Amino acid sequence: MGGEHTLIKTIKLDGTKKGIISVAHIKEPYGSESKPVVSIGISLKGDVNEPDWKAHIPYANLDELIEALKEAKTKHDS
């Protein structure tokens, strides 16, 4: 399980000393011919290769997820 991994960006995890959020593209994450996903990882130790938590988001769900994140930010900021 887990295909070709291409790191897109790392972001400092606010409120931690070394923590990072990593965003990556994974080709064939669940074996041959599985659709690519965006992987979002959280590492409290700053290790992009060994995240403490991760989520795989199908590209077909990205727009809706981005809208939900914007809504969460708007509600938090108000």
> What pLDDT is recorded for position 1?
54
Domain layout of the chain by residue ranges: 5-77
Cα–Cα distance for residue pair 75/77, rounded to 1 Å? 6
> What pLDDT was estimated at residue 78?
79
Point out which residues pair with 10 in neighbouring strands.
22
User: How large is the average pLDDT for residues 13-38?
Assistant: 96
* Percent of the chain clearing pLDDT 70 (strictly above): 97
42-70 tens-digit pLDDT: 999 999 999 999 999 999 999 999 999 99
CA distance 58 to 20: 22
Q: How far apart are CA 8 and CA 71, in angstroms?
A: 24
